Amino acid sequence: MKRSFISNHRVALALSAAIFLLGVMAGDVAFCQEELGKLSEVHQLMVIQPDGKGWKLLPCKDDQTYGSPDWSPDGQWIAYDTWSAGEEFPDARIEIMRADGSNMRLIGAGAMASWSPDGKQIVAHTYDSPQTTVVMNVDGSGREVVVPHWGSPRWSPVGNRIVTAVPGSGLGVFDLATGKETRIVPQYSPHQGLSISPDGKHICFADRTNVGANGGGALMLVTLDAKTMKASARALVKPGFFSHSSFSPDGKRIVFSWQPEEARDHDQLYLLNLDEEKPPVKLEGQDEAAANASPDWSPDGKLIVYAGQTRTKSKGAK
């Protein structure tokens, strides 16, 4: 993405921001505000093989909590968001580190980072007022607003697009070449942590349209025609409380976090094979006494990085 593109669209962004603020006043982004409290749990980053073996705690700082890890396209780096003890979500910062946990680098304010296909840029959302979606270089320079709203953004592996969650209004597909955002599946209310298939044709997200005291959410799969921007959606798993998901490199499986209605004490990681009509299975090797979320599959398919609750980290895993 070129900086000249951003400059040419500042007026359009300002107008869009004003329109979005009207939506905020009308209560369309109530979900976003639910996140803006103090952190109640501390999570650190962990890696595990898809077969449940090789669990490892990455070297994180004890006084910080970590979330939303995302592998770089070459598998050499992991981007993530982090807060210090006592801080709130608006204090979120984006950092990157090497896949072994070394060489941590601060990138800037924001959360839920996603790498560009060439690994040179990162997209993330902010908790500014108003909340925005920004693109920056991997060293934090060249920071620019591309979408005037929050959105748990994901950079599509193909197609020069960024997909965002728009609470209460479906998904937003932002075309970096034209600067236009198209809303799809507006009948759904996506939660944070959406993912895009390696071929860019499918989007997996957690729907909370019918979520209530007794659950009611669903893990959804969208099929998108990039030429016509027509989209259809179907439920993969329901009911329960869902959040982050990630496709395997071959696009045949999805790892996701889920609280089934019958066990709503904390999130656990599950695997779903898209080629089989079978229910999801819990990922072996994770600490079942702790909350585990935000999984992301490595580009080579050998590891899954996730954010695990640290109160039982000393027990390790299988």
For 41-83, the pLDDT digits (tens) are 689 999 999 999 999 999 988 889 999 999 999 999 999 999 9
Residue 99: closest CA among 127, 77, 121:
77
Higher pLDDT, 152 or 31: 152
Query: Tokens 């650190």 appear where?
Result: 44
Neighbours of 217 (CB within 10 A): 25
User: How many C-beta atoms lie closer than 10 Å to residue 92's C-beta?
Assistant: 22
Q: Tens digit of pLDDT for each residue in 220-261?
A: 999 999 899 999 999 999 999 999 999 999 999 999 999 987
The pLDDT of residue 175: 96
Q: What is the percentage of the chain residues whose pLDDT exceeds 90? A: 70
Structural contact between residues 155 and 162, judged by C-beta atoms closer than 8 angstroms: yes
> What domains, with CATH codes, occur in the chain?
3-27+42-313 (2.120.10.30)
Contact 111, 105 (CB under 8 A): no
pLDDT of amino acid 95: 98
Give the global pTM: 0.85
Task: Measure the CA angle with vertex 311, ends 310 and 312; round to 5°.
Answer: 90
Statement: residue 270 has pLDDT above 90: yes
Strand order in the sheet with 77-84: 64-71, 77-84, 93-98, 105-109
